[in-house]
């Protein structure tokens, strides 16, 4: 089966798990987009829910598909969030953020009473670090933040757009894609978050 087809099926299965009157968190990325399409179809068929989105792209897609959207600043919790992942280890720890929506995704995951993560086999990894760890960094003093990351043993590169400009998240922050191969995820998590300019890095645990 093609990978897109698998993502589509994952999105369809997750949409079936949404119950009436839920506040639903919409993740970001290609897999989450399939979920949004299937959820929209259920709404067209009469399911009544309200949603919040973890990125401008997901917000626009949901709006286009007429999913009722809420201002997240009016909420203290979300019933169910459905999102994708980039790398997941056997202990169900995962890295997210390849699409750059990590900070909002992590805040929404923390607000959510339940979360479904849609994972196809390409995301499974024996140990985290086969892919880069995205770290969302405040642009203020970013050179110093990079220096402190390097002092703690995290080398990496600033994410760029296709045109070579600095990639900025929906929050106006930069992303430092760090190499964490062979490092302990929990220790890395604590070390990175101890640096003031690092807003969020993404070891989620599911």
* Contact set with ligand A5P (CB under 6 A): 27-32, 83-86, 96-102, 105
Minimum CB–partner distance for residue 33 and ligand A5P (Å): 8
Cα end-to-end span (Å), the chain: 26
The sign of the torsion formed by the CA atoms of 184, 190, 195, 196 equals positive
CB-count burial class (<10 Å; 0-12, 13-18, 19+) for 121:
exposed
Minimum CB–partner distance for residue 204 and ligand A5P (Å): 9
CB-count burial class (<10 Å; 0-12, 13-18, 19+) for 64:
exposed
Nearer to ligand A5P, 4 or 151 (CB): 4
Minimum CB–partner distance for residue 98 and ligand A5P (Å): 4
Nearer to ligand A5P, 30 or 152 (CB): 30
Which residue, 188, 168, 176, is CA-closest to 145? 176
Nearer to ligand A5P, 23 or 115 (CB): 115
105 is catalytic: yes
Choice among 4, 87, 105, 136 that is catalytic: 105
Dig out the tokens for 117 from the structure: 């993560």
Minimum CB–partner distance for residue 20 and ligand A5P (Å): 26
Nearer to ligand A5P, 39 or 148 (CB): 39
**Catalytic annotation, residues:** 105
């Amino acid at each position: 089966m093609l990978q897109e087809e698998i993502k589509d099926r994952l999105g369809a299965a997750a949409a079936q798990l949404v119950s009436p009157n839920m506040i639903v968190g919409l993740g970001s990325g290609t897999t989450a987009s399939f979920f949004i399409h299937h959820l929209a179809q259920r709404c067209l068929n009469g399911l009544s829910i309200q949603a919040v989105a973890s990125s401008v792209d997901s917000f626009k897609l949901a709006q286009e598909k007429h999913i009722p959207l809420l201002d997240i600043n009016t909420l203290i919790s979300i019933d169910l969030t459905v999102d994708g992942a980039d790398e997941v280890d056997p202990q169900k720890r995962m890295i997210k953020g390849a699409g750059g929506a990590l900070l909002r995704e992590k805040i929404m995951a923390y607000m959510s009473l339940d979360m479904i993560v849609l994972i196809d086999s390409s995301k499974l990894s024996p140990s985290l670090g086969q892919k880069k760890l995205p770290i969302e960094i405040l642009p203020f003093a970013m050179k110093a933040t990079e220096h402190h990351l390097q002092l703690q043993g995290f080398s990496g590169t600033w994410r760029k757009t296709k045109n070579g400009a600095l990639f900025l998240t929906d929050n106006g922050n930069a992303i430092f894609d760090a190499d964490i191969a062979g490092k302990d995820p929990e220790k890395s998590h604590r070390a990175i978050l101890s640096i003031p300019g690092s807003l969020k890095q993404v070891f989620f645990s599911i």
